[in-house]
Structure 1
Amino acid sequence: MHREIAVLGAYIPTLIPLCIGGAALTWIVDRLLAQVGLFRFVWHPALFRASLLVCICGALGLAVYR
């Protein structure tokens, strides 16, 4: 995979669209976990959401750059 993507003549790193997609995926997973009621068992929900975002973006980055 290329390390950068051309958007309107400007090159951006591939990780930027991956993180945007990861944020959307995190939002979907967050809604599903809230419906199930998992956040009742989480000590700090905001910290859990932030770490979920980091894990999903990291997994997408590893999948693309591997």
Structure 2
Amino acid sequence: MPLDITLFGIQMPTLLPIFVVSAVVQILLDRVMSDAGIYNHVWHPGLFRTAVFICLFTIPCLLIYR
């Protein structure tokens, strides 16, 4: 089980780069869904955004720590 990685000589937890990539993907996906008008059909947009981020973060974490 990988507990930490080395990136440019800096040791960091494996979850940190996954978190950063998930945040960037969430921002891009949020912009696409906003432009498409998906949030007009969602009951609570803030809760929906949080759930999408949790899914984006959890899937790679489960694949790594499997």
Pairwise CA distance, 1:40: 0.3
Q: Report % sequence identity.
A: 33
1:11-22 equivalences under 5 Å are: 11-22=11-22
Which structure 1 segments of 5+ residues have no match? none
Pairwise CA distance, 1:34: 0.7
Give me the whole-angstrom Cα distance separating, in 2, the residues matched to 1:51 and 1:38. 15
Question: After superposition, what is the alpha-carbon deviation per residue over 1:9-54, rounded to whole angstroms, capped at 9, x for unaligned?
Answer: 5532101110110000011111111111000011111111111110
Pairwise CA distance, 1:63: 2.8
Contact 1:22 1:60 in 2 (8 A): no
Q: What's the Cα RMSD here?
A: 1.7
Pairwise CA distance, 1:64: 2.8
TM-score, normalised on structure 2? 0.82
Q: What is the number of equivalent residue pairs in this alignment?
A: 66
